Amino acid sequence: MNSQRIGLIGATSLVGQLLLPRLVDEGYNIVAYTRKSIHVQPGSSIQWRSFESSPSHIAENIQYWICVAPIWVLPAHFELLESQGVHRIIVLSSTSRFGKLISKDVAERTLAQRLAEAEAKLQRWSDERKIELVILRPTLIYGRGLDTNVSEISRFILRFGFFPLLGQAQGLRQPIHADDVAQACVAALLHNDVSGRAFNLSGGETLPYKEMVERIFKAKGKKPRLFPVPLWVFGLAVAVLKLIPRYKHWSSAMAQRMNQDLVFDHSEATGAFGFRPRGFLLKLEDLPK
């Protein structure tokens, strides 16, 4: 397998940044596609390509692909993938397609629908062209202080010194480290009996939302300061916070989910390609400074 070239879409994303060194260490030949401007160091084992400047008619014989960019961008690159001779592709989706499907927030329901539609479109495309497709759906991804989940909570704590909770905030969560997602991508790429299937990827530990936040405080060396507030107060606070660009995506629906279990079984992924994620053990490098 090491003699095969691997195409990577989303190499500059959080998961992509952790995936690249794994592939390099295994000796794979990597062709990384991006929209960003990349300064390539002399002697680098990674070949970078720009979507804008790489003509799709130039075949590079890249049969194996991993996409860790948002799943809905992939259909725009079907022509490129086909021109390169794609045979198998591993694609990241999200369990949000289930967890946000009945959200009271329109934007969240739209996201769930967008994920489901993208998965269906990819499945039709792969079936028609006999391409081996594997879809991986991670839960709440964290790591390197670059995620929009745990790191956002950490930034709020650093800025305001406390964190608000709705009620008891006992909804169960399974945070998954981005490096475990990267490892799953490589494992799924190598196993021949997983094509045409979709797998949920959850973290190795299930814990209440409140405890997850407490561990973020402790990882920063701070005593947890948690304040239960009613939903109407959350609504007012969110309306004010949305004026700050970093919090423009926040909604009262986020608070309501603090008491909703978002638990997904990853045993199928364990049986299929040995997926064994770590527990939620935060290190300083997992959080923003």
pLDDT tens digits, 247-283: 777 777 788 889 999 999 999 999 999 999 999 999 9
Collapsing DSSP to helix, strand or coil, 144 comes out as coil
Is the pTM above the cut of 0.75?
A: yes
The yes-or-no verdict on residue 222 having pLDDT over 90 is yes
pLDDT category at 17 given cuts 50, 70, 90 is very high
Whole-number Å distance between alpha carbons of 48 and 7: 10
Average of per-residue pLDDT values in the chain? 89
Domain residues for the domain of 176 are 5-286
The yes-or-no verdict on residue 59 having pLDDT over 70 is no
pLDDT for 243 equals 75
Q: 48-62, 110-124, 195-209 — which is least confidently predicted? A: 48-62
Whole-number Å distance between alpha carbons of 100 and 106: 10
pLDDT for 55 equals 52
pLDDT for 53 equals 59
Q: Which pairs with CB-CB distance under 8 Å and at least 24 residues apart come from 242-251?
A: 246/152, 246/155, 249/107, 249/148, 251/105, 251/107, 251/108
Q: Which 8-state DSSP code applies to residue 102?
A: T
The yes-or-no verdict on residue 57 having pLDDT over 60 is no
**More reliable by pLDDT, 36 or 85:** 85
Per this entry, what is the length of the chain?
Answer: 289
Task: Say what the alpha-carbon torsion angle 91, 16, 97, 152 is, to the nearest 10 degrees.
Answer: 180
The average pLDDT across 117-137 equals 97
Count of domains forming the chain = 1
What is the CATH number for 248? 3.40.50.720
The average pLDDT across 110-125 equals 96
pLDDT for 213 equals 97
Task: Say what the alpha-carbon torsion angle 98, 101, 282, 208 is, to the nearest 10 degrees.
Answer: -90
